[in-house]
Amino acid sequence: MFAVGLVVYISVTKRAIRMMAVMLGGGEIARRTHRIAMTIYLIGGASAVLVSLFNPLGMAITLMSAVASSFGGTAGLFNVAYSKPCAEPPRDFVIGRHHVIVFAGVLVTLAFAAVLGPTVYLH
């Protein structure tokens, strides 16, 4: 399982790097790759840690688990953020801010926190 997981993780990280290169191209504009990847990394990790605060099993183990799984598990985003720029010409790439999508993301995160934050017990 470890070997399969490692191969899949590396494959997904390489694909993310290629996708960012296709979206942004190379050159100076590719510096956005760093900001995009680090924003995803930090917001995802912070959300997991905040959700872990609802777990009744103890703060120390909960925070260690949330920090390890969310920040450690998504460390491949550092490879995306700091990958070498591609040789393609730079492209202008703009992601609009859609308040409906942001609101939906907040709602899904709150639902995740309400359902899984307190711990699910299987009887």
**62 contacts: CB under 8 Å, gap ≥ 6:** 52, 53, 55
Enclosing domain of residue 46: 2-116
Residue 123 lies in a domain: no
Residue 57 lies in a domain: yes
- Give the tens place of pLDDT for each residue, 60-101: 777 777 788 888 888 888 787 777 777 777 667 677 788 999
Separation between Cα atoms, residue 37 and residue 81, nearest integer Å: 5
Residue 121 lies in a domain: no
Question: What's the pTM?
Answer: 0.66
pLDDT at 91: 67
Residue 122 lies in a domain: no
The total of structural domains in the chain comes to 1
- Give the tens place of pLDDT for each residue, 48-57: 888 887 777 7
Residue 78 lies in a domain: yes
Residue 49 lies in a domain: yes
pLDDT at 28 over 70: no
Rounded average pLDDT over 19-24:
77
pLDDT at 42 over 80: yes
Residue 43 lies in a domain: yes
Residue 112 lies in a domain: yes
